[in-house]
Amino acid sequence: MANYLYLQIAQRIEEHIENGTYKAGEKLPSVRSVHEEQGISISTVLEAYHHLEDRGLIVAQKKSGYYVSGRRRNKEQVPSQVIPALKPESVVIDSLLETIMQERFIREVVSFSRAIPGNHLIPGKILKRNMLEVLRIDEYEVMNYTQLQGNDHLRNEIAKRSLGWGGMLTAKDICVTSGCLEAIHLALRATAQQGDIVAVESPCYYGFLEAIQGLRLQVIEIPSHAQTGIDLNYLEDVYKQYPVKACIVTPNFSNPTGSLMSESNKKELVALTTRYQVPLIEDDIYGELYFQGTRPTSLKMYDKEDWVIVCSSFSKTLAPGLRVGWVAGGRFRQSIERLKFMTNIAATTVAQLVIARLLEAGSFERHLKRMRSKLFLQMTEVQAAVEAYFPEGTSISHPQGGYVVWIELPEKVSSMELYKVALQQGIGFTPGHLFSTGMVHSHFLRLSCGSVTSEQTEQALKTLGQLAKELIANHQ
């Protein structure tokens, strides 16, 4: 009987989760407290919690405890994969994007549009203290340019950190940029010329589409799944049919779906890259923001012939206003450095010095541990509110890290129409059609979980869900 005691405990906890006694994001009683209150051995309680964790009902947070997961167990509830045209197209960005970018500065709007850390996630005191220390040590150094590739100290620290995700980079491999998007721009300019074809995930971050439009390139969208990422079968078919000059992929917690590629798929993607010799531009800006386990690897880990260009920044992990990113250009390193010199001599010096200090002292990693825990809870609250208040037939992604969730509404609901009425109620989000060149994601939307607080989340999403239900009723 003792062998099955853990199952009885697990079943009781599951019942409490199902009936709402324990809500999504809520912390469960500690292992020790269950042991003391119920007279059950610690090993049995741990076995029960591990059983619930394996089933996706709870999630362990290191040094914090166990929390109720916000994810549904029904895998059919994941947003569907949409198949785009699979042919070269020109990019035309909807002017709505400018409105959404300005929305972040309107205090009255509860914004789920911004995939950036809110003030409560930014380590302001730590940044301020280190900035003052940098200014105290040498106020003149911070007022001058760094070398073209960036500050040596920072590049060394980034290279050391790359060992943890399989990058095996050296300081020489790295060029510091003014954010990740500049790194993407440089990578595109180094690999493609006007009129060339670039492959992207569908849906993909609208900033990539803006960059492609600005450089007058063509785009082919490759279907991507909300859980597993880019569809490699479609990608290879496109490589066989068209002279693709570059491919942009976010393998770790992509924007907007939050998908995470498996290790086998990452390895296969790099193999395709090498076989067809198509430069692979990896956006790894969210890789550090995993919720549990270990940091997911970079595509660079499997890159033996230097076809992978890694792009990242500290905008999502520290503060967007620092404007410090970096690129490891692989075989395109020299071209990227030359383009960097022609475009922007150097990223801001003081921010580079501050970040280098945080990395070296271990402050960055300590901050990340706290940030991951908070982000997980915020995302869980968003998922729970969507599942509670949105119309029947809504599905939502369940990322294992990052900032964003991808939502598929019933087809009768236009996310563009919903955005307009929601903004009048002081609620902002990003309509799905902005993440592709056509209208294939017109009933999808993205919610970012980084900027909103717990106090704002439930009421705002309750209102948003009600507005979506009203739109359905109006179309019947």
> Cα angle at 111 between 105 and 112, to 5 degrees?
140
Hey, what are 63's tokens? 């040094």
Q: What is the pLDDT of residues 33-56, one digit of tens each?
A: 888 888 788 888 888 888 888 777
For residue 16, is pLDDT > 60? yes
For residue 381, is pLDDT > 60? yes
Residues 245, 162, single domain; the answer is yes
Residues 156, 305, single domain; the answer is yes
- According to the model, what pLDDT value does residue 70 have? 65
Using DSSP's 3-state secondary structure scheme, residue 233 falls into helix
Residues 340, 250, single domain; the answer is yes
Q: What is the pLDDT of residues 327-347, one digit of tens each?
A: 999 999 999 999 999 988 888
Residues 283, 393, single domain; the answer is no
Cβ partners under 8 Å of residue 277, min gap 6: 307
- Mean pLDDT value across residues 226-246: 97
Phi and psi (nearest 5°) for 375? -65, -40
- Among the three residues 315, 345, 365, which one is the final residue of a domain in this structure? 365
Residues 114, 131, single domain; the answer is no
- Mean pLDDT value across residues 440-453: 92
Question: Are the C-beta atoms of 461 and 386 separated by less than 8 Å?
Answer: yes
Residue-number span of the structural domain to which 217 is assigned: 123-365
If residue 474 lies in a helix (H) or strand (E), which one and from where to where? helix 454-474
Question: Which pLDDT band holds residue 76 (cuts at 50, 70, 90)?
Answer: very low
Please report which residue ranges of 348-410 form alpha helices under DSSP H.
Answer: 349-361, 363-389
- Among the three residues 348, 365, 382, which one is the final residue of a domain in this structure? 365
**CATH code, domain with 170:** 3.40.640.10
Q: What is the pLDDT of residues 81-117, one digit of tens each?
A: 888 888 999 998 877 777 777 766 676 789 899 899 9
Phi and psi (nearest 5°) for 164? -75, -20
- Mean pLDDT value across residues 293-310: 96
Q: How many CB atoms lie within 10 A of CB 33?
A: 12
